Structure 1
Amino acid sequence: MTAGNPPMKPGPSGGLPILGQLSNVARIAVLGTLGLSVAAMALDFGLHADETVVFLVAAAAILGLAWVVGLSTERLGSLTGPQVGGILNATFGNIAELIIAFFALQAGLIDVVKASLTGSVIGNLLLVLGASVLVGGLRHGTQTFSPKIAGSNAALLVVAVIGLFVPAVFAFTTSESTQGTRTEESVLVAVALIVGYVLSLIYQFTHASETLGGHGEPTGHGGPAWTTRISIVVLLMAAALLTVLSEILVGAIDGFIESFGLTPFFVGVVLIPTIGNLAEHLVAVQLAAKDKMEFAMAVSFGSSLQVALFVAPVLVLLGAFLGQPMDLVFTPLEVTAVAAAVGISALIALDGESNWLEGALLVIVYVILAVSFFEFV
């Protein structure tokens, strides 16, 4: 018997240790997620229901599955230590969004995929950080945190975003840019960003006190007493269901867009990041409400870093492999919005304190940008 695998006692839910070790609320959430997953598959594969209904049910199921992934990842991290936990968090932190984007890329919805990348960064830095600062400020007044730690995360993000937008700047400033050269340059940038991602992981593990990476702080999931084996099984099952439901979601996007009169760009920049990351967003707000603003900021900045250094370059390389070439040339509106989000969030991080007004203003800026995205065609 290993140290990390204590014997499991039958829980109150029919002897199933997976459910029996959860709180009542968490147990209901898991069962509800399974029910929604089955319903989405039945509506799509069996009943061939309206695409709008399929999209909404699949989206709800994905929200729950993203939470289950976070639950099992947290438990594995607590069992295996901060180093392995950091790798798991870095790998699975944006897994739902990555899987959704993969199927969208496979379907040729490249504009939706690119919009989801910028939308994720903007949402993390404005909506998530703003909501965290707002809730924390209303509950605790002015909150203080280490400007060194927050500033380190902000600086890493600035460098990552600059690298991500190099192809866009090149396209804006030269007339020699063609689709072929844009794709080639984007592939090279993607490789460089992945190298940067690996280096950031190494730095995270060797300077844990400076980055809060893999800190092992409870994330508000109410960590269940699962063994390593059960945690891995739950994680793999949730990832498998995410794969199926993401394909269903992407297949229903066109009908959903037509029903609500939305643009593919708006769906990519606002809805897809929200569906993929809502569970993680709620964790950040919960941490801020507990007066743990450093950890809330680590969630916000860390998720944005994963998108810039891992999700985006992986999708570029997958696009080249799938015959769906995707470049990193974003629209001027996206570049401006991300630059503003990075700049504003960095300013808040560097002074070492936050209050509810700053949070409210961040959320307001996000709403303004969302309205602009809605009108953007």
Structure 2
Amino acid sequence: MEFRIDVPQPVLDDLRHRLEVAILPEQTPGPDWSNGIPPHVLAGLVDRWRDGYDWRAFERRLDRYDQWMLDLDGCAVHVVRAPARAPSGALPIVLTHGWPYSFASMLDLADLLSEERDVVIPSLPGYGYSAPLPEPYSSFGTARRWHALMTRELGYDRYLTYGEDVGAGVSDWLAASSPESVAGIVASHASFSGRSRPGVELTDEERTFLASVASPAESGYAHEQGTRPDTLAAALIDSPSGLLAWIVEKVAAWSDGDALERFDVDDVLTNVTLYWVTRSIGTSFRPYRESPDDDELHPVITVPASILVQRHEAAYPRSLAEKSYADIRSFNRLERGGHFTAWEAPDAIAAAVRDLEARL
């Protein structure tokens, strides 16, 4: 069914009141960002969110897109589609976001790609306006629904896929399990599954890389979300400044650049507002709590692949990619763009999509 986001004004009024009475912490001694988001940065963001940010402007932007709420095998999924402005026969593409962001972070990329193709952006189950899965979360279960969305619901015979973070696992499973329909995959969060494949020996370069991205300083959030999600959610769902701090600290830490310099502040606030008005921060933790141990261990992907190494994983070895992708058509290292690649460097992702299609 068709869907439109129109947040009731009392919800926005309540948010503004909570921001007016927010209590912010004292700064722990040490350099800025070494202990999380600096309170003075948080204070500036709270001020902007309370007095300058315009949520209604984002709602008006969404009027340019198709929106639906669709039942995909028992799960209500919010879907945004940017139809091709100048149809050229180019393959449609499904884009999947990750945590802690949303479909809104994919819209700039969608605007670039929809010049010549349909672009479909479903929100992950439990994120934003999408309901959680009726079963424990898995990348495979989500990919199965994305395939139904693209083929059964939207009628595409062939399509491309791109995903990041949690969405990267969905994109990998989609390509691995539906090669008859997935024409190719672009991956800027390329699979690590080679480390877990039975009988596969890792090289010294691969082991060094995997150790480099397993920093304890950056894994505390995942441990908390995966072990005590309801306790954390109770704090964040009641405090917009707390939610803002939890999300923005990761946006800053994982991006390419210093702090938030790669982002428009209002785009960051849009992302956080989506979590606030949908009360979905707790359900967004479910992949961390529920995903099976072998969720990343998809079959070897045989469809054509374009691998883009983003700056947050700059040393990712091609040999590791070759353990998961059997038909790599291009392997490039980005000069710009970190974990939030489509948000930070949409031009580079759009170019990679077009290049991969030209190589099919």
TM-score of the two chains, using structure 2 as the length reference: 0.28
Considering fraction of residues, name the structure with more helix: 1
Structure-1-length-normalised TM-score: 0.28
Larger RCO (alpha carbons 8 Å, 6+ apart): 1
